[in-house]
Amino acid sequence: MKILPKFSLVTFMMMSLSCQAMAMEHHDERGEVIAEPSHFESWTETKQRWQEEHGLQLGMDYNMLGLTATDALGESSAASGALRVYGQWDMVHTQSGSTGGIVFKFEHRHKYTDSSPKEFGIKDLGYIGFVHSLYGDQGFRTTHLFWRQSMLDDRMVAYAGFLDMTDYTDFYALANPWTDFNNSVFTTGNGTIGGLPDGALGVMLGGFITDSVYASASILDAKGNASDLGQGVRDLFDSNATWKSLEIGYTPSKELLFINNAHVTVWQRDAVEDDKEGYGVSASISGLIDGQWLPFLRGGWAKDAGALYDASVSAGFGYIPSLRNQDMMGFAVNWASPMASTFAGVDFDDQYTAELYYRAQITPWLQLSPSVQVMNHTAINVNAIESGDMINALIKDKTDVVFGLKARFAF
């Protein structure tokens, strides 16, 4: 299988370097072993010193995802990797305690197999959606490059530059597909937000109206082009197409905003190429119970704008094991109604998705996340369409089981 040489080589190199670093030691005058800090620990201390002395928070990681399906129409496996460098450099500090600085994230996304996980769902399974929305083959990307300014004793924040709307729109604790659920129905918008621009020129303003009620509003380039920021800017001024959002939410504690949270989000997107102008609303409620359970209920509705679904509802939970409080288990189910206007007016049957994953913190620098997705849907048979066999273009009531394994190496 073509994935193995590249996948195994990268894994072997990363683990070998880490093992060499962790094994460093020397002896004192009495011959007793004194362990020296590993390269990982030394690098962590260096980053902490940079943050204290220069206001620079820096992170790097390498992520891998492999998927395999039991009943594929095309390729049965897909795998991809992504190298990310990200952080924040606080450059302005006021006497009131407000800060201003640059937030950045640079990535290189690349596939190991003929199909990447991002295209695997529609291309090889006929699934209307993304079994994972980020692991593609786009090459270099700039998803964040903006100025962040806190104000009013950190009660308000403003962003200006190239933004990723998923950072602040319809968020909850398990929305990050790099570390938690894979399927897009369990991330921002439940598949009902059209566009999902990242690396998009725009502005966002958010803050607390009271100690518990917050609001945010943004306007971004509707297309965005994280692979070519300059082209994205030119497209914005040529088309004037924008994506707008307004969110109002409640949290009992500002410190736990991303965990204990209830909100409603409304959005609108101008017409872009073949996608009509459209709009929608999303709602979410989640909270931590007994320090271990994180149940959530989320839903969305949309009209046009290139959204995958005109309605979608997800329910599930996260669970933090008592003896491994850095781990997370997640389980969720989803019902979705595909958007006919996005798929040439075809009125597809409802589809159902379930996902179970376990994120294990193996070492301070390594996470492993096995997962399984089960999807019942009407499949688009791309091979039949390309061959002109329109009788078999759709396969009703198809069930796919997709096994996955994610690995994250943090530096």
First to last CA, the chain: 29
The predicted structure's pLDDT at residue 13: 36
Report how far apart, in Å, the C-alpha atoms of 178 and of each of 47, 64, 84, 86, 281 are.
22, 9, 11, 14, 25
Contact 138, 225 (CB under 8 A): no
Residue in 102, 69, 64, 280 with CA at minimum distance from that of residue 188: 280
Read off φ and ψ for residue 28, nearest 5 degrees. Answer: -90, -170
Contact 200, 221 (CB under 8 A): yes
The predicted structure's pLDDT at residue 182: 97
Q: Does a structural domain hold residue 23?
A: no
The predicted structure's pLDDT at residue 11: 39
Sequence-distant (≥ 6) Cβ neighbours of residue 368 within 8 angstroms: 359, 360, 362, 405, 406, 407
114: domain CATH number is: 2.40.160.10
Q: Does a structural domain hold residue 201?
A: yes
The predicted structure's pLDDT at residue 48: 86
Q: Does a structural domain hold residue 270?
A: yes
Q: Does a structural domain hold residue 43?
A: no
The predicted structure's pLDDT at residue 8: 37
The predicted structure's pLDDT at residue 28: 46
Read off φ and ψ for residue 386, nearest 5 degrees. Answer: -65, -30
The predicted structure's pLDDT at residue 36: 59
Q: Does a structural domain hold residue 19?
A: no
Ranges of H-type helices in 194-350: 229-239
What does the alpha-carbon distance between residue 360 and residue 225 come to, in Å, rounded to a whole number? 33
Q: Does a structural domain hold residue 24?
A: no
Contact 184, 130 (CB under 8 A): yes
Spell out the per-residue pLDDT of the chain, length 411, in tens: 333 333 333 333 333 334 443 334 444 444 554 555 666 778 788 888 888 888 899 999 999 999 999 999 999 999 999 999 999 999 887 777 788 999 999 999 999 999 999 999 999 999 999 999 999 999 999 999 999 999 988 889 999 999 999 999 999 999 999 999 999 999 999 999 998 888 999 999 999 999 999 999 999 999 888 999 988 888 888 888 999 999 999 999 888 899 999 999 999 999 998 899 999 999 999 999 999 999 999 999 999 999 999 999 999 999 999 999 999 999 999 999 999 999 988 889 999 999 999 999 999 999 999 999 999 999 999 888 888 888 888 999 999 999 999 999 998
Q: Is 114 helix (H, G, I), strand (E, B) or coil?
A: coil
What does the alpha-carbon distance between residue 134 and residue 132 come to, in Å, rounded to a whole number? 6
The predicted structure's pLDDT at residue 38: 67
Element (H, E) at 20: helix 3-22
Contact 105, 361 (CB under 8 A): no
Contact 307, 290 (CB under 8 A): no
Contact 143, 107 (CB under 8 A): yes
Handedness of CA 236, 185, 394, 340 (dihedral sign): negative
Q: Does a structural domain hold residue 257?
A: yes
Q: Summarize pLDDT for 215-236 with one digit per residue, the tens.
A: 999 999 998 889 999 888 888 8
What does the alpha-carbon distance between residue 37 and residue 364 come to, in Å, rounded to a whole number? 14
The predicted structure's pLDDT at residue 35: 52
Structural domain including 309 reads 63-410
Total residues found in the chain within this entry:
411
Q: What's the total number of domains in the chain?
A: 1
Distance of CA 182 to the CA centre of its chain: 8
Q: Summarize pLDDT for 159-181 with one digit per residue, the tens.
A: 999 999 999 999 999 999 999 99
Q: Does a structural domain hold residue 45?
A: no
